[in-house]
Structure 1
Amino acid sequence: MVQNIPKGFFPDSGFVSRETSGKLVVYADLVRKWQARINLISPKTLPDVWERHVLDSLQLFRLRPEPLNWLDMGSGAGFPGLVTAICLAEKGHGWVNLVESNNKKAAFLRQVILETGARASVHPIRVEDARTKLGKIDAVSARALASLSDLLSYAAPYAQDNPSIEMWLHKGLDYLGEVRSARDLWCFDLVEHQSLAQDGSAILQISNLSQHT
């Protein structure tokens, strides 16, 4: 069992407390236990769940630690939204709305919240149907869900409600191609944060989203 964040993974190692680090360990252990019953993550990544999933997701809180009201789209096993929610617990403010239409995965997310005290709620509905239930959203996250163009389409209604909304989207090695394709349909400001977990990957910070007319 990993007891804390590996030293040197982040330049500012220790940016979360020992208590939060321990809760993330609990989360990783729950992923391993539930994986035997439901397909939460790719089986080939299970031995590396800490680095491939937890620490990769933790980068988002490092970049945006403020206590915002988040929408995590297509949460699946909870990466990155549930990691953010666990980190927010020590702040006592902020919230993460985990939208996951698969009832079995939604049950897993609720169990992690119960055992870690994460500041999150689970919404077992489709992202397209969640808008009227969540209120004002400050920021949107997603990881391994869909193409960038599709993610922006899902997020666009929330941007209409809150023009200052930010999107924080984990993307892999081909993210530049996805950005080019998305710009054919959408106008947006982009900041690329290179991943500390995988060379060539990035977290895309997107704001001022609008559709081409």
Structure 2
Amino acid sequence: MTFHVKHQDAMPDDLRRRLDAFAAILTRWNARINLVSPRDLPHLWDRHIADSLQLADLVPPGARLADLGSGGGFPGLIIAIATGTDVTLIESDQRKAAFLREAARATGTSVTVLASRIEDADIPQVQVVTARALAALPQLLDWASRFLAPDGFCLFLKGRNVTDELTAAAAGWHMTISRLPSRTNADGTILKLGNIRRARHSERAQG
């Protein structure tokens, strides 16, 4: 299934129903927890749900996925809702972790919610690591490299500063890079990064 739509229209009925349920519970919880900016609530589908949903096409069937700093469920929980992928949501904020568990229950989605700092998380290696609006690329790579299987890759949703972030990351990391245009944000880019390894001088510095 290819997810090209920005809105509920033309989605399979079951997916639309489950994403509607997610949107409803997020809206209720957002009054108590800052999951998204209140000014974004009228644009929840375009700015958050559809933005996350476009990653679903890029996750191989049967892959295990870790989502870093899951927050309001973007993109990890949305991917799990859409694909049934085995997803671990890593979120250090206990209230946001509680929201993720309740949203998963309300949408009938099986995920693992790990209420832990990313640095302290201990999970089996995964094929895909995702993150959205979390940190600059060098930091993301440092976190993600701990979890990736040798054949794994990262999917990061990035904005207009993506070129600067790639330049900064090149000082400490080697990787293969695919830049895919966002279908929901004219300034957005999906980074698909594979064969990730530290540069040798960076390894010496770490040691």
Question: TM-score, normalized by length of structure 2?
Answer: 0.89
**Structure 1 residue 32 corresponds to structure 2 residue 27:** yes
Aligned to 1:139: 128
Structure 1 residues 20 and 67: alpha-carbon distance in aligned structure 2, compared to 1, 3 A threshold: farther
**Structure 1 residue 45 corresponds to structure 2 residue 27:** no
Q: What does 1:168-187 correspond to in 2, within 5 Å?
A: 168-187=155-174
Aligned to 1:127: 118
**Structure 1 residue 206 corresponds to structure 2 residue 185:** no
2:37 and 2:166 map into 1 onto residues whose CA distance is 25
Let me know the Cα RMSD of the aligned residues.
Answer: 1.8
**Structure 1 residue 194 corresponds to structure 2 residue 189:** no
* Aligned-pair CA distance for 1:119: 2.5
Q: Once the two structures are superposed, what CA deviation does each residue of 1:81-131 show, in whole Å capped at 9, x if it has no partner? A: 000111123xxxx31000001010001000111111113110000111113
**Aligned with residue 95 of structure 2, among 87, 104, 107:** 104
Aligned to 1:154: 143
1:72 and 1:203 map into 2 onto residues whose CA distance is 15
* Secondary structure, aligned partner of 2:177: strand
* Secondary structure, aligned partner of 1:138: strand
1:177 and 1:65 map into 2 onto residues whose CA distance is 29
Structure 1 residues 65 and 47: alpha-carbon distance in aligned structure 2, compared to 1, 3 A threshold: farther
2:6 and 2:60 map into 1 onto residues whose CA distance is 17
1:8 and 1:57 map into 2 onto residues whose CA distance is 12
Question: TM-score, normalized by length of structure 1?
Answer: 0.87
Residues paired across the two proteins, number: 197
* Secondary structure, aligned partner of 1:38: coil
1:43 and 1:184 map into 2 onto residues whose CA distance is 37
Structure 1 residues 28 and 45: alpha-carbon distance in aligned structure 2, compared to 1, 3 A threshold: same
Identity over the aligned pairs, expressed in percent? 36
2:163 and 2:86 map into 1 onto residues whose CA distance is 30
